[in-house]
Amino acid sequence: MAKETLKKPGSKKSASKKSTSVKTAHGVTKKKGSSRKKAAKKKKRAIIFGVEIVLLLLLVGGFYVVRLFDKFQKPQVEEEDMQVNETITPETVETMSGYMNVALFGLDTRNAGQLGKGNRSDTIIIASINNDTKEVKLVSVYRDTYLDLTNGKYNKCNEAYSVGGPGQAVRMLNKNLDLDIEYYIAVDFAALAEAVDLLGGIYIDVDESEIGHLNNYTVETSKVTGKSTTKLTQPGYQLLDGVQATSYCRIRYTAGDDFKRTERQREVVMELVSTAKKASLDEINSIVNAIFGMIATNYELDELVEMTPEMIGYDIVDTQGFPFDRTPATVSGKGSCVIPINLADNVKQLHEYLFDDYSYTASSEVQEISDKITSDTGY
């Protein structure tokens, strides 16, 4: 099968680190309070189907959020669920300490508000926030990527959330990608539809190849969300309502398949952010009240409130898909999967892209996973 290659990350100078530090479990110097407390200082322009709105609402409705925090779902996630690979080099740990990495999951659930295990994560996005430059990068991990689920089984990576909920899904990302994610936010696509409608819609350029699939998806999306819509009659740049925007995110049958679909999802995220920044306080409060019950997270209220003042200056500067080098292939018993062509090399590219870390070396865990994928698939 032909190898598909995305644009390799460009070179940038690493952001400087602050001097205040403590010793980590890995024996390296790390910024003080960089574990759970670093979340408070990192804006985390949280993304994904309405999750962006959750954070943006803090920007203008901070104290209003306090009253509604109990609406958040908080599936049990143990501290050990957020473990990182023990063989990550001290230099890599130090580099990542200057960033806040958050896992964002969009769940393929037909039962609104059911955000625990048993649901596949139809969308997986890593939001990486540079604390010094206030720049945010998004990486979509293709849901069919063949990876270690952390339980001794290899399968499509979206299976991790279904089997073990958000804890296992985060652990899967940390283990396969040498990351240090501690926080997650999960939503279902009803949250996106609701947020888009409350913002008055978003503008998207729908092309000829997409319009038929979008209209087809509106049937199920309307049924699941309980929202009515109309069919699009022509392609072009136009205002989409919540059902239409959500259906646009779900298209995967045009050229590019699921790879193109993740681009659409990031496109909607960007437009959602742009529109939400112009929203009034009343609009934001309405969104908060409507979608908080559709969100699950392990953030604590004080962390959300404390990060609020620093949210204004953050911007999403770039997005990518992972793996960078990949090929589609059928794996026995697993169906059609996205195969990373040399996972270790892909993870190196990821660390270069997210953290400007050009000295990164894959941990022994990632190298073992990479070798196993090659053994299973031939790539």
CATH of the domain at 236: 3.40.630.190
How many domains does the chain fold into?
2
If asked whether residues 157 and 299 sit together in one domain, one would say yes
Query: 273, 295, 315 — which closes off a domain?
Result: 273
Q: At residue 89, what is the residue type?
A: T
Q: Residue 52: is its pLDDT beyond 80? A: no
The whole-angstrom distance between residue 130's C-alpha and the CA centroid of its chain comes to: 16
Measured between alpha carbons, how far is 41 from 28 in angstroms, rounded to an integer?
Answer: 21
What CATH number has the domain bearing residue 119? 3.30.420.590
Domain boundary among 273, 294, 321: 273
DSSP annotation of 308: G
Q: Left, alpha or beta for 257 (phi > 0: left; psi -120 to 50: alpha)? A: left
Per-residue model confidence (pLDDT) at position 69? 66
The pLDDT > 70 percentage for the chain reads 75
How confident is residue 45, by pLDDT bands cut at 50, 70 and 90? very low
User: What pTM does this model have?
Assistant: 0.77
Q: Which two three-digit tokens encode residue 186?
A: 């999960």
On whether residue 17 sits in a domain, the answer given is no
Residue 47 confidence (pLDDT): 31
SS3 223: helix
Asked whether residue 22 is assigned to any structural domain, the reply reads: no
pLDDT at 208 over 80: yes
Q: List, in sequence order, every beta strand (DSSP E) within the chain.
A: 4-5, 21-23, 29-31, 99-107, 121-130, 135-141, 146-148, 154-156, 183-188, 202-206, 236-240, 295-297, 315-322, 325-331, 335-340
What mean pLDDT comes out for the span 194-217? 94
> Which of 42, 113, 58, 44 lies closest to 276 in space, CA to CA?
58
pLDDT at 84 over 70: yes
> Residue 246 sits in which domain range?
200-273
Residue 242 in domain: yes
- My answer on whether 182 and 327 are in the same domain is yes
Return the higher-pLDDT residue of 148 and 53: 148
pLDDT reported for residue 345:
98
- Flag the least confident range among 76-80, 81-85, 97-101: 76-80
**Is there a domain that residue 6 lies in?**
no
With 50 as the cut, is the pLDDT of residue 348 above it? Answer: yes
| 102 and 175 in a common domain | yes
pLDDT of 313 reads 64
Does 55 have pLDDT greater than 60?
Answer: no
Rounded CA-CA distance 48/105 in Å is 7
Q: Which two tokens stand for residue 87?
A: 């063989």
Q: What is the mean pLDDT of residues 69-86?
A: 74
Cβ atoms of 77 and 298 within 8 Å: the answer is yes
Residues 310 and 353 in one domain: yes
Give the end-to-end CA distance of the chain in Å, rounded to a whole number: 10
Q: At what angle do helices 257-276 and 189-198 cross, to 10 degrees?
A: 40
Domain co-membership, 167 together with 106: yes
Is residue 318 assigned to a domain? Answer: yes
Clarify whether residues 119 and 70 are in a common domain.
Answer: yes
Higher model confidence: residue 32 or residue 324?
324
Render pLDDT for 161-201 as a digit per residue (tens, 0 to 9).
Answer: 999 999 999 999 999 999 999 989 888 878 889 989 999 99
On whether residue 2 sits in a domain, the answer given is: no
In terms of domains, do 58 and 152 share one?
A: yes
Q: Which pair of tokens denotes residue 333?
A: 């018993």
* Residue at 23 is within a domain: no
Quote the CA–CA distance of 143 and 342 in Å, as a whole number: 18
- Pair (214, 151) in one structural domain: no
- Is residue 233 domain-shared with residue 125, that is, in the same domain? no
From 235, 255, 273, the end of a domain falls on 273
Q: What is the pLDDT of residues 283-339, one digit of tens each?
A: 877 777 777 778 888 877 777 666 655 655 677 888 899 999 999 999 999 999 999
Q: In the predicted model, is pLDDT for residue 346 greater than 90?
A: yes
Higher-confidence residue of 49 and 251: namely 251
- What is the sign, positive or negative, of the torsion defined by CA atoms of 108, 109, 110, 113? negative
* Mean of all residue pLDDT scores within the chain: 79
Asked if 110 and 150 sit in the same domain, the reply is: yes
Bridge partners, 360 (sequence order) = none
